[in-house]
Amino acid sequence: MLTGIGTMLLTFVAMEGVAWLMHKYVLHGFLWFLHKSHHTHHHHAFEWNDLFFAYYGTLAMLFFIFGSDPIDYRFWIGAGITLYGLAYFLIHDVFIHRRIKVFGKTSNVYLKALNMAHKVHHKVQDKNGSESFGMLWVAPRYFRLAYEIVKKQEQEERGSVHY
Ligand SMILES: [Zn+2]
Ligand SMILES: [Zn+2]
């Protein structure tokens, strides 16, 4: 059980690397024709890019199927992929792009940094020239920026109390 959970957590961390590689070299590579839908402004509920959820979902399902009778390490890899998919969906689709409007503004430095890094990725609407391909791992410079913004906000809020 413990090794299982360890395998699951390792898979979760590894998935960030997989997602980064996929995003940088495949989505902004030969599968750009699908990913392009995510770099274009539109008013549709779904994008071609959403197919990647089906891809990772199928992958996780296969790991579950082959690793569940009896339960072995493949089951836990499937669980890790599923967990990462869930985190990715919540952060990327719900929190950053607000496809479902449940989260308000945040003063959490990590979430702010993550949001900024991804918005920078979207600044470029082209196949080439983007940066910040990861999701949960954020470059330190965004942390510094986010920290400064949050600190400023706090100072302003404190200042307004006196009136
Ligand atoms: Zn992209
Ligand atoms: Zn995005």
C-alpha to C-alpha distance for 152 and 163, rounded to whole angstroms: 18
pLDDT of residue 163: 53
Q: How high is the pLDDT of residue 121?
A: 95
pLDDT in tens, 133-147: 999 999 999 999 999
| CA end-to-end distance (rounded Å), the chain | 58
pLDDT at 162 over 70: no
Give the tens place of pLDDT for each residue, 40-53.
988 899 999 999 99
- Cα(22) to ligand 1 centroid in Å equals 10
Q: How far is the CA of 126 from the centre of ligand 2 (A)?
A: 13
Query: Nearest bound ligand to CA 23?
Result: 1
In tens, the pLDDT along 122-133 reads: 998 889 988 899
**Ligand 1: distance of its center to the CA of 148 in Å?**
27
- When pLDDT is cut at 50, 70 and 90, the band that residue 1 belongs to is confident
Report pLDDT digits (tens) over 75-86.
999 999 999 999
Average per-residue pLDDT in the chain?
93
- CA of 94 from ligand 1 middle (Å) equals 17
Contacts of 138 (CB under 8 A, 6+ apart): 110, 113, 114, 117, 132
pLDDT of residue 159: 80
Measured distance CA(126)–CA(26) in Å, rounded: 14
pLDDT single digits (tens) 26-37: 999 999 999 999
Q: Span 56-78, mean pLDDT?
A: 96
pLDDT higher at 72 or 102: 72
| Cα(38) to centroid(ligand 2), Å | 6
